[in-house]
Amino acid sequence: MKQFLSFVKKEFYHIFRDHRTMFILLGMPVVQIIIFGFALTNEVKNSRIAVLDMAKDEASASLINELEASRYFEIEKYLLSYQEVEAEFKTGRIHMAVILPQNFSSDLLHLNTAQVQLIADASDPNMANTLTNYASAIIMDYLERITDGRKLPYTIKTEYRMLYNPQMKGAYNFVPGVMAMVLMLVCTMMTAITIVREKETGTMEVLLVSPVQPLKIVVAKAVPYMLLSMVNIATILLLSVFVLDVPINGSLLLLVLESILFTLTSLAFGLFISSVTNSQQTAMFISLTGMFLPTIMLSGFMFPIENMPGILQYISNVVPAKWYYIIVRSVMIKGTGLATVWKETLILFGMLLFLLFMSIKTFKIRLA
Amino acid sequence: MEREKVITTDRLTKRFGDFTAVDAISFEVEKGEIFGFLGANGAGKTTAIRMLCGLSIPTDGKATVAGFDVYRQTEQIKRSIGYMSQKFSLYEDLTVRENIRFYAGIYGKSNRFIKDKTERLLLQLHLQEEANKLVKSLPLGWKQKLAFSVAIFHEPEIVFLDEPTGGVDPVTRREFWNMIYEAAEAGITIFVTTHYMDEAEYCNRVSIMVDGRIDALDTPRNLKQQFEASTMDEVFLKLARKATRAGE
């Protein structure tokens, strides 16, 4: 036990002496939450649009008012002719143009139908999609209001509810993703690097010649990163609850336990990497390409797995972050319990055992 | 009267597949002796040391270190030996004191023992003022001397030094060897590998490995007579030229 404690203490010295790394480790979750929370958002706010109102009547004016009143759009310019539309897009000042035809009001009154043209800048397809959807929704709302009482023949009203995330906030999606990313980075990469560093400097040789069991060396190395990860989880959860207003709907205890499970899996992966590599560069490269990229790409956090080609869907199954991401989303956002995530939990647990087994085995082979 | 034997090997062998790294070596080392373990790169020195340190299980033959069997009692062997490698083995980002504490701690020494001995050691090495400085701020020679002191801090019976003076200037090397003599006088057996033939002259006895076998083993004086050479350098070259194996 005394051996073990001197070891853990030494690992903490390594971490605390390296101010830059420590700053990155503890600052990273904060920076990522801020970047994802405020900069990298899919939500549309105050998007600049141009309006070409050829009708200039009561109905067109009130529809334009509706658009302007919403927090999604801001009217940058009123255009006078159709020719101006493209020129305006080319300046890059607007993302969408709304065009109301000459007889908007009368068509609406007499024919019960009127046309509005939405032209969006689809050089950013997601943005274009979102904007036209929002605009259509506002127009539908408006239509509903003015036709109130006078039922139109054959209309199907769609009514939708956005479950778990009524305001469609991006934060609900990326908070679980950031948690997976940060834990993976801290645990896998840092553990791998710190062990390989001892091989590089030659201190590992001295440790192996000492009476400390190799397993103890490795566990002692993992402990500080485990604690650091707990601090990171706490930071992320506090930031998401108090800054981004993302609630923790499920059990906090379950969330923390699942996070510990994922942390252990990442640590085991780091150990495995360290037992098959001999230089810090290689260790870093393997952790980044082997774990960090798949975590971003294949966990379902950036891109929906359902839309991927079959082979990538299969590959995504071996990415631990995918399962952790599903668990966190279920527990934190949907508020479900172990009953719904037991399968994912078991898969993570299996991965943990497999990685531990593999790293201990390779470690032993190297010793013989 | 014969002195106590702390290392004995009898036809100790290690094979990796078809390759015989260490080929039936037999020798004995006495307590308090400075035993030079020489050989060109690839001659099998490192493999032999790894077996004696309990890091690698031999394929064949017998060996005991500090009275313990290299097959079954590696744990006890590890407790009885110290080790210093050719690579620098202290933590650069820890202070002198923290390094000493850490290494003494992993050998399970009591706080009392560590505290008293640390002060004495710092005094001996004239490092009192640097005790709380990071090791990376020390000159290489000091680091090397500190590393040696740390390797024998837990008072092992034998200390294995694997090319301990690589890259050190001649003055520091001389001082380093004075420390080795002091340790040997205190009863610690020194098992040292080196590429510096002047250092081989400082050893009580020297063995020279060629192609996995020990081709010569005697005092430096007797070896020079036997090979009709004036320096150990010549002895070594005469033997090493016979090697058929390529270097590492």
Question: Is residue B36 over pLDDT 50?
Answer: yes
State the pLDDT at residue B109.
Answer: 87
| Average confidence (pLDDT) over B229-236 | 89
Residue A24 and residue A61 in one domain: no
Task: Show the tokens assigned to A17.
Answer: 């002496």
Residue A173 and residue A27 in one domain: yes
Domain count, chain B: 1
**Which residues face B213 on adjacent strands?**
B210
Q: Is B169 helix (H, G, I), strand (E, B) or coil?
A: coil
Closest in B83, B101, B105 to A3, CB measured: B105
Looking up residue A137, the CATH number of its domain turns out to be 3.40.1710.10
Residue in A with minimal Cα distance to B79? A211
CB B71 within 8 A of CB B57: yes
Between B242 and A32, residue with greater pLDDT: A32
Query: Identity (one letter) of the amino acid at B8?
Result: T
Between A250 and A126, residue with greater pLDDT: A250
State the pLDDT at residue A45.
Answer: 78
Task: Show the tokens assigned to A293.
Answer: 């990229």
Bridge-based pairing of strands B60-65 and A117-120 is unpaired
Assess if residue B123 is contained within a domain. yes
State the pLDDT at residue B159.
Answer: 95
User: What does the DSSP 8-state code read for residue B95?
Assistant: B
Give per-residue pLDDT as tens, A188-235: 988 899 889 888 888 888 888 888 888 888 888 889 999 999 999 999
Residue A52 and residue A183 in one domain: no
Predicted structure pTM score: 0.79
- Closest-CA distance, A289 to chain B, in angstroms, reads 29
Question: Is residue B115 over pLDDT 60?
Answer: yes
Q: For residue B61, what are the domain limits?
A: 5-240
Question: Is residue A298 over pLDDT 70?
Answer: yes
Assess if residue A67 is contained within a domain. yes
Binned at pLDDT 50, 70 and 90, residue B86 comes out as confident
Assess if residue A367 is contained within a domain. no
Residue A20 and residue A75 in one domain: no
Assess if residue B247 is contained within a domain. no
Question: Is residue A147 over pLDDT 90?
Answer: no
Highest-scoring range by mean pLDDT, A120-134, B22-36, B233-247: B22-36
State the pLDDT at residue B225.
Answer: 92
Question: Is residue B79 over pLDDT 80?
Answer: yes
Residue A310 and residue A280 in one domain: yes
State the pLDDT at residue A108.
Answer: 80
The domain boundary, picked from A146, A179, A196, lies at A146
Binned at pLDDT 50, 70 and 90, residue B168 comes out as confident
Residue A103 and residue A214 in one domain: no
State the pLDDT at residue A103.
Answer: 85
Question: Is residue B230 over pLDDT 70?
Answer: yes
State the pLDDT at residue B48.
Answer: 93
Q: For residue A8, what are the domain limits?
A: 2-40+169-362
Looking up residue B224, the CATH number of its domain turns out to be 3.40.50.300
Residue A130 and residue A277 in one domain: no
Question: Is residue A366 over pLDDT 70?
Answer: no
Q: How many CA atoms lie within 13 A of A139 on its CB side?
A: 17
State the pLDDT at residue B248.
Answer: 44
Q: Which residues contact B153 (CB under 8 A, 6 or more apart)?
A: B82, B100, B103, B104, B107, B109, B117, B121
Helix, strand, coil percentages (3-state) for chain B, rounded to 5, are: 40, 25, 35
CA angle B196, B199, B204 (to 5 degrees): 140
Assess if residue B39 is contained within a domain. yes
Greatest extent of chain A over all pairs of C-alpha atoms, in Å? 94
Residue A193 and residue A338 in one domain: yes
State the pLDDT at residue A52.
Answer: 92
CA angle A209, B192, B19 (to 5 degrees): 70
DSSP assignment of A237-298, as one string?
Answer: HHHHHHTS-----S-HHHHHHHHHHHHHHHHHHHHHHHHH--SHHHHHHHHIIIIIHHHHHH
Assess if residue B219 is contained within a domain. yes
| Alpha-carbon dihedral A307, A313, A319, A321, rounded to 10 degrees | 30
Is A208's CB within 8 Å of B81's CB?
no
Between B12 and A167, residue with greater pLDDT: B12
Burial A248-267 (b: 16+ CB within 10 A, else e): eebbeebbeebbebbbbbbb
Give per-residue pLDDT as tens, A22-50: 888 889 889 988 887 777 666 677 889 99
Residue A327 and residue A257 in one domain: yes
**Residue whose structure tokens are 């003055």:** B171
Tell whether ipTM is more than 0.90: no
Q: To the nearest whole percent, how much of chain B has pLDDT over 70?
A: 98
Between A362 and A80, residue with greater pLDDT: A80
Is A201's CB within 8 Å of B92's CB?
yes
Closest in A5, A201, A206 to B83, CB measured: A206
Assess if residue A254 is contained within a domain. yes
Residue A57 and residue A186 in one domain: no
Question: Is residue A358 over pLDDT 70?
Answer: yes
Question: Any CB–CB contact under 8 A between B207 and chain A?
Answer: no
Assess if residue A256 is contained within a domain. yes
Question: Is residue A163 over pLDDT 90?
Answer: no
Domain count, chain A: 2
Question: Any CB–CB contact under 8 A between A9 and chain B?
Answer: yes
Question: Is residue A355 over pLDDT 60?
Answer: yes
Question: Is residue A172 over pLDDT 90?
Answer: no
State the pLDDT at residue A265.
Answer: 94
- Residue B80's H or E segment, with its range, is helix B74-80
Closest in B79, B91, B160 to A211, CB measured: B79
Question: Is residue B135 over pLDDT 60?
Answer: yes
State the pLDDT at residue B2.
Answer: 63
| Interface-testing mutation among A7, A197, A205, with chain B (most B C-beta atoms within 10 A) | A205
Question: Is residue A156 over pLDDT 70?
Answer: no
Q: How high does pLDDT run on average in chain A? A: 86
Bridge-based pairing of strands B60-65 and B213-218 is unpaired
Q: What is the rounded CA–CA span in Å between residue A196 and residue A280?
A: 6
Assess if residue B248 is contained within a domain. no
Binned at pLDDT 50, 70 and 90, residue B242 comes out as confident
* B100 closest CA partner among B145, B136, B149: B149
Assess if residue A81 is contained within a domain. yes
Which stretches does DSSP call E strand in chain B?
A: 5-16, 19-30, 34-39, 60-65, 68-69, 81-84, 158-162, 189-193, 205-210, 213-218
Across the beta sheet with A47-53, what order do the strands follow? A73-79, A47-53, A96-100, A117-120
Question: Is residue B1 over pLDDT 80?
Answer: no
